[in-house]
Amino acid sequence: MKVKYKEFSGLNLPAIEKEILTKWEENDAFEKSVMLREGATPFVFYEGPPSANGMPGIHHVISRTLKDLVCRYKTMQGFQVKRKGGWDTHGLPVELGVEKMLGITKEDIGKKISVAEYNETCRKEVLKYKDKWDEITTKMGYWVDLNDPYITFDNKYIETLWWLLKRLYDKGLLYESVSIQPYSPAAGTGLSSHELNQPGTYKNVKDTSAVAMFKAVENEKSQFLFNSVINQPSPDIYFLAWTTTPWTLPSNLGLTAGPNIDYVLVKTYNPYTHLPVNVILAKALISKYFKPEGENGEFENYTENNKILPWKILAEFKGSELEGIQYEQLLSYPANSLKNILPLADEVPEPFRVLLADFVTTEDGTGIVHTAPAFGADDYKVGKKYNIGILTMVDRQGKFVDGLGEFSNRFVKNYKDEKGYEDVNVDISVKLKKENKAFKVEKYEHSYPHCWRTDKPILYYPLDAWFIKTTALKDRMVELNKTINWKPKSTGEGRFGNWLENMVDWNLSRSRYWGTPLPVWKTADGSEEKCIGSIEELISAAEEAKKLLGEAVNQHLSTADLDLHKPFVDEIVLVSESGKPMKRVPDLVDVWFDSGAMPYAQLHYPFENKDLIDAGKAFPADFIAEGVDQTRGWFYTLHALCVLLFDSVAYKTVVSNGLVLDKNGNKMSKRLGNVVDPFQTIEKFGADATRWYLITNASPWDNLKFDIGGIQEVQRKFFGTLYNTYQFFALYSNLDGFAFKEAYIPLDQRPEIDRWILSSLNSLVIRVTESMNDYEPTQAGRAIEEFVDEHLSNWYVRLCRRRFWKGEYGQDKICAYQTLYECLETVVRLMAPISPFFSDAVFHNLNAVTGRFNVESVHHTDFPKENKAAVDTLLEERMQLAQDASSLILSIRKKVNIKVRQPLQKVLIPVLNPQMKEQLLKVEDLIKSEVNVKEIEYITETEGFINKKIKPNFIALGKKLGSKMKAVTAALTAFTQNDISKFEKEGNFILQINGEPLTLNLTEVEISAEDIPGWSVASKGSLTVALDITVSDQLRKEGEAREFVNRIQNLRKDSGFEVTDRININIEENERLVNSINEYKNYICAEILADSIDFVPQILDGGTEIEINDIPLHVSVIKKS
RNA sequence: AGAUCCGUAGCUCAGCCUGGUUAGAGCACUACACUGAUAAUGUAGGGGUCAGCAGUUCAAAUCUGCUCGGGUCUACCA
């Protein structure tokens, strides 16, 4: 028996997928898909490692679908695409998870639990959900190599990181410096930004805020200001600067103004001392300190009892004019004297000057920012730029240092829960008030970050940290970024581009436990340091230390069970050039370094696989994809490290996909309970429907509103249609034994409709290929959808049904089979990257019979190549015409209530030009059979018969006419039928516009048929049809015959006859139908496979009663045995 | 606060780059039809201040500016 096309017993995607999965596993389909391309050009893909200590969510499914479909597509395009999986295993989330699990805090590490035990727990916990991840990977059909993944805690991985760090170190790009970080004096530890983002850390608190007065120094730079105060009551000028943290004032070293902000010099009185003063502040903020009625008030009669301060603007200027003006230190003590100011650069600091920076606003304060480089990141940055030095008048416990007079050793906030703590900020403000140095002191409520463990306010504090000098190669990074193909473009130019422009050095240090240790060893005095770049180097350095420093050192060191984590590496002591012992600096490396170094570390470069990187075989990546939230994460660290170390891009194309929101557009979160479980979704609807939905519903970079209903729709609409089409094909092919054994019938020997669908198919191949090459899978998917639904199923198959079940297995049938087969086979290969399961299932079924491909899976075939010769644009156009015409005629039938089975005599179609007629003629038969009409008449000479309308061709006329457009439109609207036909006959028309002649030609207008008086008419665009709705006697009879055929076919079906069974029919005599049936007997018999139709006086068992156009009729249908 | 994306029918989305006169599709809804693809299908109908305002233009969903709303990232500040 011949092999048959397997017919599905129902569209059960999850079940089909399970079968396919088994097949893939049995055949090692994934491995084979890579192996089959051995020697081919590599297409390099990097997998961004997920962290396996969290459950996979639906948002992982979208980015992995994207990655998978590109890799599958490129494989089918002939590239070899290796996909090494990986796990991100270090970092704070892991540590916090473990701490929560063990019920400990960071302080307990090393006390309640040893560092070794703690890290061991992290190591185990981090792969907690690995099984779940493997499961989702398999079930969603993500092909990635999970047998040999890279793991960031692996010694080999870390060794590469060390090698890279050393290279940075040798290039002078790794350095130690202070940075301003959130710091909790109460807990005695720095906080990561992640910790600062814990819920509840920002609290509204009331603090004493002060507007302090900084006295300007008169010299050349400030002369223009002092010129304005000559002859004024006070010769002094003060800058006003606001602070909510008066404790930072003793550390003040600068005042920062905005270069484009307008400032004013105001003559007034100090509201506390009532002394005359001149102050500078932003013009926009005058109203915050002065009442309008006080402007130009009475200065002479001012006394301390006056409620309203008189004030007067003496001068106005831009912030940029203030740059460099000096002022006197606000609060001078021995501790903050000039000699105690530490430099921020190599030169001697020049403090107490006005600086300029863009971060200054006029929303709060005075428009002049008190700048203490130690206690604010912005302050530090601008302070460094202007080299004003740094003063840190607060120690790590949060109290003032010695040598600050009455403030010495006082806590700047109540960190110790002291009873009767007196707020030092209040005392400072009081002192300023008394000394004519405060202009306004008040309580101010604002939100301020607090330590999430101690609930005490944090400070920003300078801490030692290791940095990568990314700014050194900023320009190169910007330049190389321009060569990267970003999808969408705006992320690369906007979000990422801006980020690069405003780049700061990368703070690498983390004072945690579970991470890659920084491989730097230092002597106790810090004078000598050494960076280690490999395990071998570490071992030999340790051996040397052992030799020089004695046997007690590095006793337990062995190559065999070396672990490059804390606490083991910390136990290793090295020896300096001068023979001193060196200990490792305690810092760990930011986890983002782990992932950014993944291109090299996954290959254990350069210790192994050196060639893969150096010869560019696995580097840089052709393609990566992750969520848009990785823009400043992984995308950045990959780029930064690569530019710094290899002067190259790390990836040529990057797709950043948007977020998955719930159906209402809210972010999915466990708290809201709107998280979609990907396991359930795939279990219920199948991975294919889910993938198809995720890809075609919205562009990957748009946020996706995830709606289960959408998946159901995809399943029904797209997969259901494709399924039906395949089932239809399989049903008849199996009957006819079609196995594509006959020679391929040349296109020119196939009927019009076959050539049309094949043309359409090849156009589709072109479109899909273009879209996929352009990383626009959404466009590709939608195009496939449209083809399957609109063209293949709803037109080709519908129109060709008869060809499949009617007649002998001859040329026309074979044409139909070959055509439909080719469509199915091609579509399945086109969609394989997006929906890998169902496509493979259908492919298997097809190929099992025909064996046209010598492969085990659709994923081992090549992507379809377009056959340009098959594309016939005119053909596709006229088929569209046929579809439109049919649809119009059907709508008329509907309107006048004549069913399609009732034949009608004639359709009129006005043709506007010869091309249109030519096109219509070629599809005339299609239209006629589709709408059951006997003839089509084309009318060209139409005057008096068709009403035409005319309107301007705006695109053509717009440029020519400009503002006359309106008048012309009006003139054309007023055209009579005579005007139009005159225009058509003569080819041009002279209009009078505003008394001037204006010649229009036919290409500048659009003429269309509007109406045919006395006919039933419908139109769409330039196509108009008119239907003759008269049903003559002859037509009625034919209609009845068709109706009869239909009823008998139903009976056959209801009786469960085979499609090929032959029958005999008896009809109880019926006067009204006898003529119709006899007249069309031959036709009827052929349709229903009847050998006889006889009228009998009475049917013995009564037969079956049917109705033909409301006429009851008794028949009996007997199957011939 | 800055950057960026988004806002078109009840819902999901096209159209916008390159301005052109009835703003489309699918789903849902209503009615009718079809029935040897039937867990399908066709036809028709209702449903839109294209977020708002202003500008450019003969012409704006489309270009520009501002505002509002939503998302994300970054920053958190005197």
Is pLDDT at A764 greater than 80 in this prediction?
Answer: yes
Q: Residue A690: phi, psi to the nearest 5? A: -65, -50
Which residues are within 8 A (CB) of A721 and not within 5 positions of it... i.e. 6 or more apart? A788, A789, A793
For A640 and B77, how far is CA from C1' in angstroms?
28
Could you give the percent of chain A with pLDDT greater than 90?
35
Of A596 and A951, the structure prediction assigns the larger pLDDT to A596
Nearest DNA or RNA nucleotide to A1019 (CA to C1'): B22
For residue A316, which of A266, A353, A357 has the smallest C-alpha distance? Answer: A266
Contact A1074, A1095 (CB under 8 A): yes
> From the C1' of B44, which residue's alpha carbon is nearest?
A891
Query: What is this structure's pTM?
Result: 0.83
Catalytic residue positions of A?
A: 49, 88, 592, 630, 634, 667, 670
Contact A1011, A1025 (CB under 8 A): no
- Please give the full DSSP string across A281-292, using - where no structure is assigned: EEGGGHHHHS-G
The count of other CB atoms within 10 Å of the CB of residue A113 is: 17
Please give the pLDDT value at position A1: 45
Nearest DNA or RNA nucleotide to A779 (CA to C1'): B14
What token pair was written down for A591?
């986890």
- Helix-helix angle A634-646:A474-481, to 10 degrees: 110
Q: What nucleotides of chain B have any atom within 7 angstroms of a protein Cβ?
A: 1, 3-6, 11-14, 20-22, 26-27, 32-44, 57-59, 70-78
Of A650 and A966, the structure prediction assigns the larger pLDDT to A650
Q: Taking the CA atoms of chain A, what radius of gyration do you get in angstroms?
A: 42
Is pLDDT at A272 greater than 80 in this prediction?
Answer: yes
For A150 and B24, how far is CA from C1' in angstroms?
49
Please give the pLDDT value at position A944: 57
For A680 and B61, how far is CA from C1' in angstroms?
39
User: What helix, strand, coil percent values describe chain A, rounded to 5?
Assistant: 45, 20, 35
Range of A49-58, A718-727, A1086-1095 with top mean pLDDT:
A718-727
Nearest DNA or RNA nucleotide to A1061 (CA to C1'): B36
Nearest DNA or RNA nucleotide to A699 (CA to C1'): B13
Q: Residue A465: phi, psi to the nearest 5? A: -155, 160
Q: What is the mean pLDDT of residues A257-278?
A: 90
Average predicted confidence (pLDDT) for chain A: 86
Model pLDDT for residues A291-328, shown as the tens digit of each residue: 888 888 888 888 888 878 899 999 999 888 999 999 99
Alpha helix stretches (DSSP H) within A470-590: 474-481, 489-490, 497-501, 535-549, 568-571
Is pLDDT at A1026 greater than 70 in this prediction?
Answer: yes
Please give the pLDDT value at position A632: 76
Please give the pLDDT value at position A177: 81
For A963 and B64, how far is CA from C1' in angstroms?
21
Of A963 and A666, the structure prediction assigns the larger pLDDT to A963
Model pLDDT for residues A131-190, shown as the tens digit of each residue: 999 999 999 999 999 899 999 999 999 999 999 999 999 999 998 887 788 888 877 777
Which residues are within 8 A (CB) of A225 and not within 5 positions of it... i.e. 6 or more apart? A216, A237, A265, A280, A315, A325
The count of other CB atoms within 10 Å of the CB of residue A208 is: 21
Of A1020 and A1080, the structure prediction assigns the larger pLDDT to A1080
Contact A900, A798 (CB under 8 A): no
Q: What is the mean pLDDT of residues A913-940?
A: 83
For A134 and B28, how far is CA from C1' in angstroms?
38
Is pLDDT at A53 greater than 90 in this prediction?
Answer: no
Nearest DNA or RNA nucleotide to A895 (CA to C1'): B44
Model pLDDT for residues A870-916, shown as the tens digit of each residue: 998 888 888 888 888 887 787 777 777 777 788 888 888 887 778 88
Model pLDDT for residues A1071-1094, shown as the tens digit of each residue: 888 888 888 888 888 878 888 888
For A875 and B14, how far is CA from C1' in angstroms?
25
The count of other CB atoms within 10 Å of the CB of residue A49 is: 21
Dihedral sign, CA of A505, A506, A512, A516? negative
Of A264 and A795, the structure prediction assigns the larger pLDDT to A264
Contact A225, A219 (CB under 8 A): no
Dihedral sign, CA of A625, A629, A632, A633? negative
For A1052 and B35, how far is CA from C1' in angstroms?
13
Q: Residue A178: phi, psi to the nearest 5? A: -85, 150
For residue A52, which of A192, A150, A194, A196 has the smallest C-alpha distance? Answer: A150
Model pLDDT for residues A372-397, shown as the tens digit of each residue: 988 887 888 888 888 899 999 998 88
Separation CA A993–CA A198 (nearest Å): 72
Please give the pLDDT value at position A417: 75
Peptide bond into A620 cis (omega under 30): yes
Contact A1076, A902 (CB under 8 A): no
Dihedral sign, CA of A359, A365, A370, A373? negative
Model pLDDT for residues A325-368, shown as the tens digit of each residue: 999 999 999 999 999 998 887 888 999 999 988 778 777 788 89
> From the C1' of B70, which residue's alpha carbon is nearest?
A665
Q: Which residue has the tokens 């028996």?
A: A1
Nearest DNA or RNA nucleotide to A248 (CA to C1'): B78
Task: State the burial class of residue A596 (Cβ atoms within 10 Å of its Cβ: 0-12, 13-18, 19+).
Answer: buried
